[in-house]
Amino acid sequence: MIVASELSKAFRTTNGQMNQAVDAISFTVSAGEVYGLLGPNGAGKTTTLRMVMGLLSPDSGFATVDGARTDSQSTNSNQSEAVLSKLGMISTNDGVYPWLSVREMLSYFADLYGVPQALAKTRLSELAQLLDIEKVLNQRCSTLSTGQKQRVTFARGLMHDPPVMLLDEPTRGLDVVGSRTVFQFIDLLRQRGKAILLSTHRLDEAERVCDRFGLLHQGKIRYEGTLQGLQIATGREHLVDMFIDLIDQRGAA
Amino acid sequence: MIELVLSGRLWRMCVKELRETLRDRRTIFTLVLMPLLVYPVLSLALQRLILNSVSSNKSETIIVGVSSERNVDVLGAAINRSRQLTASDSYRPFRYSETVASADNPLKSKTRTSSQPIEWNAIVVEKPLKDSLEAGEVDVTVSITNRIDEESNTNQDDNRSNNFLFSVGYRENDSRSEFALSEMRKMLQTLNENEASELRIANGLSRGAPFEILATAIEGENSIASSLSSVIPLVLVLMTITGAVYPAIDLTAGERERGTMEALIATPISRFALLLSKYVAVLTVAVLTAIANLTAMFVTLRFSGLSEVLLGGHGFSLWSVIAVLPLLIVFAAFFSAILLALCSVAKSFKEAQAYLIPVIILSMGPGILSLLPSVRLTGTMAAIPLINMILMARECLAGDLEVIPGIIAVSTTLCYAIIAMSIASQLFGMHAVPQNSEVSWRSWLRAPNQTNRLTTLEHLTIYLAFFFPIYFVAIHLLAGFNEIDLQQRVWLNATATVLLFGALPLLFALWRKLSIPKTFPVGGISRWWLAIPGLLLISVSMWTVAHEILVFSELFGIASLDIEKLANLEKAKTEFLALPLTTVWISMAIIIAMAEEWFFRGFVLQGMLNRSKDARAAWISLLVSAILFGLFHTVAPNLLAIERFLPTTALGMIIGWIAWKTGSLIPGMIVHAIHNGLLFTMPRYEDLLRQWGLGIENQKHLPLTWIAGGLACLAIGILMVQVMTKQVEIKNVENIDF
């Protein structure tokens, strides 16, 4: 479903130097698979996700979803519309509209994706049940707790039922129970056959939920494969240890 | 886009934006509370100010300027008599309905306290009374004539039949002078009433009032009231801005600050649609604010009585409120777009505010400039944003709005709104993703990556939005050169036309990397040389059609020429006839035809034709370009030559059709140049033309034979072009297939 091919992106820092945030990253994610993009802060996870999403245009390389490129430069508007409809993105930075009710906000996004109103209605109640936000549907978003907000954000990303989900740190700021709910939900999405690209720092949960991993450091994928493959490649049993090795490498460099 | 509108999605998007804004307490604050607070407070302050200025110079004596000692005596006698009457008339001390009716008006109540007799001081003025009044040496001037004296004492038997005419001069808008006038009126009314009642008692007769007053105003200057009245539009405009600022920031930069922008940009909806829904919301709030302010101002002024003081006799009528509202809406449409363009680039609330504050302060500058009474809504002023709307509102309130500058002001303002929206739609969402720091307003100016692009509707809209104000200002600047020699003026005009219609679109096309050969196709003589005879027939016969349409449209009262302008035309004509014919042909026919064809048939028409090969679309493009051609020809300095619209549009259709059929601009240029040349040559052979029965000057119909001949020539010409280009078209298609 998702193919990232040699994605690169550099940013100009405030003192005018170029910082290679992502350096020729390639990976694929197929339907019904959860791919974990792991790495320390500043490794380039969010930038990668944004390039796959088409929000950032890569300096070189490209990403495709279902065979169609996501960068808007190479596609005409109709094509990019079709691609965008297949993608759902949930980010830790996502906010809610404080003055709208949950229902209004979700309906609004369904509308933006062109979901027919009747379908949007059934999907909304379905998602509300699934994510346990039925009780707050008519509340203003400003009154929600952090966990509720996160679940509303999940519902927002799923209103158009995209086959591909990009999840950027979906558990940051959530407590153990909250995180657990999120990962259970990711599991459910996988069962429904969605291709999921996940970036997270909850390594323990990631170990359980992800099918394959890419260990990102300083803009490059250092290791890639299943947990088993990684264990063989790094000689470490747990992701946490692999992680620390990576950071130590950085310290050594 | 159309689908979005039809499915109601755009509407629901707008509703969401409005919900978001209107539920926010801060919006409600500027929308409702501000006007409720500002106007009463402002009006209290104004009342204080005016009261001070009125009372400080009213309590003492009124200085009356008179021309002779005899007038002093008559005036003195009148004053004394009226004082006696007022003093004895204890049961009705104030008979003046206006005073009683506005008893709660502190300004008017000032006059009521004049039960203490007013001190009058008459001085004999040496120079003309008017001069002394203008210089402010006296409050009013009076010259008294006894009509009986003038009628050589025919009614000697009735010694009470005096009939005095008090000619009073006063300064308009000067409270002190107006007060003096009203006191004078009261005094004479007292005398008249007394006289009348005594007469009625004496012999039951009623005559005309023995004391008559004739008030003549001179224009007062720098009166507080008049300068305050021009503040009203500025206050309204600034308040409308205030209303729009918060939603504009909240719906753009706020979206980013809340973290909803990224999700919004990730949706397949176009950014323009997103921005449009936000624009509708900001505009709605701005208009609501304008309505709230207008209502609050109307109510405050009405009930505080400031209305008459500030706006003169007619006050702040409901009509003027209704007239100002559309202006505020146009202004809101303009400023909302500006605000969105500014806020779209901001990453946060703070940043947006940092951008907006200088803009608002800057816009105060022209706002204050427009307070000067000498600044009027004419010419170039009508094309300057903000100033034009404030001036228009001011003239609207004063009830002397002129139509043409008004139309120009509204249309240029809407042009600016379109430009601002196009900038905003480019910028909106660019900062959705952080670290993308290279994006700024400059990115809107940056040339696109692709080359050889085709003109889009957006290009055309933006270009026209820029071009119309420039064109309008240029026309006015050119009109300013009316004192230089006609020959120079003609060349100046030709140069300006080449720059405006030739160079500007070319520069725009180069900048936007449009395909030059496709936008301005000038080659390909092989494709249309066969059509030359047909083209010549069209060029020599087109004027008959244009003339008939002109006369026809005048039948329906579509005309802007009046006698005075015709007289000017006569003078211009003699000058014009003195020009060498070659100058006329080169500067007014050939150059102008080439430049106009380059723009209207090249940039506009080809730009649209290139989009689609569909014949129906081509006809629509033809019509649109012809209408534009017609519209531009109606714009003239300080007048709209609307009678030119229909004939020019018709010519635009014919020449546009030629350009479409031949695929080149050259044939159109030839036809256009010959047509123009003929029109300018004809007046030189007036006698000959008259022999032929053609009174071109008299706006009369042509003889039927001429109309028939012209139509026939035109039809044959068109047919020839059609046939000749058709054959070539087929050939061309074969070539392309190769």
pLDDT tens string B267-305: 888 888 889 999 999 999 999 988 888 888 888 777 776
Kindly give, in sequence order, each residue whose CB lies less than 8 Å from that of residue B545, ignoring residues fewer than 6 positions away: B647, B650, B651, B654, B710, B711, B714
B53 pLDDT band (50/70/90 cuts)? low
Task: Tell me the C-alpha distance between B390 and B490, whole Å.
Answer: 35
Query: Smallest Cβ distance to A111: which of B13, B20, B436?
Result: B13
- The H-or-E segment that residue B41 falls in is helix B34-55
The pLDDT tens digits for B401-416 are 778 888 888 988 999 8
At residue B98, the pLDDT reads 38
Length of chain B: 738
Mean pLDDT of B143-157: 60
Cβ(B436)–Cβ(B442) under 8 Å? no
Angle made by CA atoms B106, B107, B109, in degrees to the nearest 5: 60
Give A-chain residues touching B438 at CB under 8 angstroms: 12
Give B-chain residues touching A170 at CB under 8 angstroms: none
Task: Tell me the C-alpha distance between B122 and B79, whole Å.
Answer: 11
Least Cα separation, residue A54 to chain B (angstroms): 8
Give A-chain residues touching B432 at CB under 8 angstroms: 55
Query: Smallest Cβ distance to A56: which of B23, B268, B436?
Result: B436
Task: Tell me the C-alpha distance between B664 and B729, whole Å.
Answer: 12
Query: Smallest Cβ distance to B260: which of A80, A97, A114?
Result: A97
Higher pLDDT, B312 or B490: B490
Give A-chain residues touching B263 at CB under 8 angstroms: 89, 91, 94, 109, 156-157
Query: Smallest Cβ distance to A97: which of B20, B265, B270?
Result: B20
Whether B184 shows a pLDDT value over 80: the answer reads yes
User: Of B95, B104, B180, nearest to B142 (Cα)?
Assistant: B180
> What's chain B's average pLDDT?
77
User: Of A241, A146, A112, nearest to B277 (Cα)?
Assistant: A112
Cβ(B282)–Cβ(B247) under 8 Å? yes
Task: Tell me the C-alpha distance between B412 and B181, whole Å.
Answer: 45
Cβ–Cβ below 8 Å for B12 and A111: yes
**Looking at the DSSP assignment, which residues form a beta bridge with residue A9?**
A22
Strand runs labelled E in B404-500: none
Cβ(B82)–Cβ(B187) under 8 Å? yes
Query: Smallest Cβ distance to B23: which of A91, A99, A109?
Result: A99
Kindly give, in sequence order, each residue whose CB lies less than 8 Å from that of residue B45, ignoring residues fewer than 6 positions away: none
Give B-chain residues touching A110 at CB under 8 angstroms: none
3-state secondary structure B664-730: CCHHHHHHHHHHHHHHHHHHHHHHHHHHCCCCHHHCCCCCHHHHHHHHHHHHHHHHHHHHHHHHHHH
Task: Tell me the C-alpha distance between A60 and A219, whole Å.
Answer: 14
At residue B202, the pLDDT reads 60
Give A-chain residues touching B437 at CB under 8 angstroms: 11-12
At residue B684, the pLDDT reads 80
Kindly give, in sequence order, each residue whose CB lies less than 8 Å from that of residue A228, ignoring residues fewer than 6 positions away: none
User: Which residue is closest to A70 within chain B, CA to CA?
Assistant: B266
Token code pair at residue B200: 């009625």
Residue A193 three-state SS: coil
Whether B228 shows a pLDDT value over 70: the answer reads no
User: Of B722, B591, B553, B608, nearest to B654 (Cα)?
Assistant: B722
Give A-chain residues touching B435 at CB under 8 angstroms: 11, 21, 47
Cβ(B473)–Cβ(B405) under 8 Å? no
The pLDDT tens digits for A86-126 are 888 888 778 889 889 999 999 999 999 989 999 999 999 99
User: Of B682, B39, B91, B62, nearest to B302 (Cα)?
Assistant: B39
Task: Tell me the C-alpha distance between A124 and B691, whole Å.
Answer: 85
Place of tokens 């205030």: B242
Main-chain phi, psi angles of A195, to 5 degrees = -90, 125
Task: Tell me the C-alpha distance between B267 and A54, whole Å.
Answer: 11
Give A-chain residues touching B266 at CB under 8 angstroms: 53-55, 84, 87, 89
Cβ–Cβ below 8 Å for B267 and A50: no
Task: Tell me the C-alpha distance between B341 and B339, whole Å.
Answer: 5
- The H-or-E segment that residue B203 falls in is helix B175-203
At residue B333, the pLDDT reads 92
Query: Smallest Cβ distance to B267: which of A11, A12, A84?
Result: A84
Cβ–Cβ below 8 Å for B20 and A114: no
Kindly give, in sequence order, each residue whose CB lies less than 8 Å from that of residue B661, ignoring residues fewer than 6 positions away: B528, B531, B721, B722, B725
- Helices (H), ranges, B119-174: 129-135, 147-150
Other CB atoms within 10 Å distance of the CB of residue A3:
17
Place of tokens 């792991």: A38
A173 touches chain B (CB under 8 A): no
Task: Tell me the C-alpha distance between A200 and A170, whole Å.
Answer: 7
A37-41, B617-621, B643-647, B694-698: the lowest-pLDDT one: B694-698
Whether B91 shows a pLDDT value over 80: the answer reads no
Task: Please give the full DSSP string across A133-188, using - where no structure is assigned.
Answer: -GGGTTSBGGG--HHHHHHHHHHHHHTT--SEEEEESTTTT--HHHHHHHHHHHHH
Other CB atoms within 10 Å distance of the CB of residue A97:
22
Cβ(B17)–Cβ(B251) under 8 Å? yes
At residue B436, the pLDDT reads 45
Cβ(A124)–Cβ(A110) under 8 Å? yes
Distances (CA, A) of B424 to A78, B21, B211, B241, B265: 22, 19, 69, 17, 14
Task: Tell me the C-alpha distance between A234 and A228, whole Å.
Answer: 10
B450 touches chain A (CB under 8 A): no
Please return the burial class of B430, using the count of CB atoms within 10 Å of its CB with bins 0-12, 13-18 and 19+.
middle
A61-70, B345-354, B552-561: the lowest-pLDDT one: B552-561
B440 touches chain A (CB under 8 A): no
B359 touches chain A (CB under 8 A): no
Q: Please give the single-letter amino acid code of residue B487.
A: Q
B600 pLDDT band (50/70/90 cuts)? very high
Q: What's the CA dihedral at A99, A102, A106, A109 to 10 degrees?
A: 20
A108 touches chain B (CB under 8 A): yes
Sign of CA dihedral B402, B404, B407, B411: negative
Q: Which pTM does this prediction carry? A: 0.67
Main-chain phi, psi angles of B8, to 5 degrees = 80, 5
Give A-chain residues touching B439 at CB under 8 angstroms: none
Kindly give, in sequence order, each residue whose CB lies less than 8 Å from that of residue B119, ignoring residues fewer than 6 positions away: B60, B61, B62
Least Cα separation, residue A26 to chain B (angstroms): 22
Kindly give, in sequence order, each residue whose CB lies less than 8 Å from that of residue B616, ignoring residues fewer than 6 positions away: none
Task: Tell me the C-alpha distance between B7 and B28, whole Å.
Answer: 30
Percent residues over pLDDT 90 in chain B: 9
Mean pLDDT of B309-336: 77
Task: Tell me the C-alpha distance between B301 and B288, whole Å.
Answer: 20
User: Of B146, B355, B406, nearest to B245 (Cα)?
Assistant: B355
Cβ–Cβ below 8 Å for A53 and B266: yes
Whether B156 shows a pLDDT value over 50: the answer reads no
A18 touches chain B (CB under 8 A): no
Task: Tell me the C-alpha distance between A64 and A82, whole Å.
Answer: 12
Least Cα separation, residue A203 to chain B (angstroms): 25
User: Of B213, B207, B233, B268, nearest to B367 (Cα)?
Assistant: B233
User: Which range among A196-200, B307-311, B359-363, B465-469 has the greatest average pLDDT?
Assistant: A196-200
Whether B89 shows a pLDDT value over 60: the answer reads no
The pLDDT tens digits for A12-44 are 766 667 788 888 889 999 999 999 988 877 788
Whether B614 shows a pLDDT value over 90: the answer reads no
Surface of A (51-80) touching B: CB under 8 A: 53-56, 73, 77, 80
B144 pLDDT band (50/70/90 cuts)? confident
Least Cα separation, residue A90 to chain B (angstroms): 8
Distances (CA, A) of B290 to A32, B285, B317, B323: 56, 8, 17, 13
A227 pLDDT band (50/70/90 cuts)? confident
Other CB atoms within 10 Å distance of the CB of residue B220:
20
B183 touches chain A (CB under 8 A): no
Query: Smallest Cβ distance to B268: which of A21, A85, A100?
Result: A85
Cβ–Cβ below 8 Å for B260 and A94: yes
Task: Tell me the C-alpha distance between A185 and A191, whole Å.
Answer: 10
Surface of B (261-290) touching A: CB under 8 A: 262-270
